[in-house]
Amino acid sequence: AMRVDISHETISAVTDAVLDEVMIWQNRQLDEFYPVIFLDALRIKVRDGGRVVNKSAYLAIGVDMDGIKHILGIWLAKEEGASFWAHVCANLATRGVQDVFIVCCDGLKGLPEAVEATWPDSMVQTCVVHLIRAANRWVAYGDRKAVSGLLKKVYTAPDEATARAALDEFADSELGHKYPQSVKVWSDAWERFVPFLQFPPMARKVIYTTNS
């Protein structure tokens, strides 16, 4: 094997060049309008001082008018909350995003308020996959398929009244009585879920999950 010795100065120069590129990328101008922006969190391992720690990297992914996805920004944060999301939305707005139709997220704390303050005409949509997973958290493995089947009637419903009836059917079923927490997940998120129902199947497919 060939061994290459690289001086500290060379490594430092390369790192500085990469960091400059990252800064330029992270602060680049964005489109004025995105039909959909997804906000998603990734758990990553980062070397901090002498040890490796878990951190959350938050990604904003914009879908442009041609349906192409772009990573608009990546932010590392120990804690996410209202002030963090206000900072993320302000960053996107400062870089040129004047309007968003739908912001799709995993029910992140403080995010809906930050979005509504930045883009008052946008719609915050809770990720349906996130709701299904959250509802299944309390469900025994053997019952998950049946619970997911009952929930499918909710999010494939043609309108809110039909969706509500499907959720009530789940709540009144044997599985609903067995897993009231699963019903509660959907009831609590209802206001953030129902915008989803006004879209046709093709659009629902796009905003069904934040997982990019």
Owning domain of residue 190: 128-207
Residues 144, 170, single domain; the answer is yes
User: Would you say 71 and 97 are in contact if contact means Cβ atoms under 8 Å apart?
Assistant: no
pLDDT digits (tens, 9 = 90+) for 66-102: 888 899 999 987 777 778 888 999 999 999 999 998 8
Rg (CA), the chain: 21
In a domain, 12, yes or no: no
Tokens of 96: 């040129």
Domain at 84, CATH number: 3.30.420
Residues 117, 164, single domain; the answer is no
In a domain, 192, yes or no: yes
* pLDDT surpasses 60 at 52: yes
Residues 182, 93, single domain; the answer is no
In a domain, 196, yes or no: yes
> Average pLDDT for residues 49-56, to the nearest whole number?
84
> Per this entry, what is the length of the chain?
212
Residues 55, 117, single domain; the answer is yes
How far is the C-alpha of 72 from the C-alpha of 114, rounded, in Å?
A: 17
Residues 37, 103, single domain; the answer is yes
pLDDT digits (tens, 9 = 90+) for 15-36: 778 888 888 998 999 999 998 8
Average pLDDT, the chain: 87
Residues 97, 153, single domain; the answer is no
Which of residues 93, 109, 125 is at a domain's end? 125
pLDDT bracket for residue 60 (50, 70, 90): very high
In a domain, 172, yes or no: yes
Which of residues 70, 100, 125 is at a domain's end? 125
pTM of the model: 0.73
Of 88, 84, 87, the residue nearest 72 (C-alpha): 88
Number of domains in the chain: 2
pLDDT digits (tens, 9 = 90+) for 140-185: 999 999 999 999 999 999 999 999 999 999 999 999 999 999 999 9
pLDDT bracket for residue 39 (50, 70, 90): confident
* pLDDT surpasses 90 at 109: no
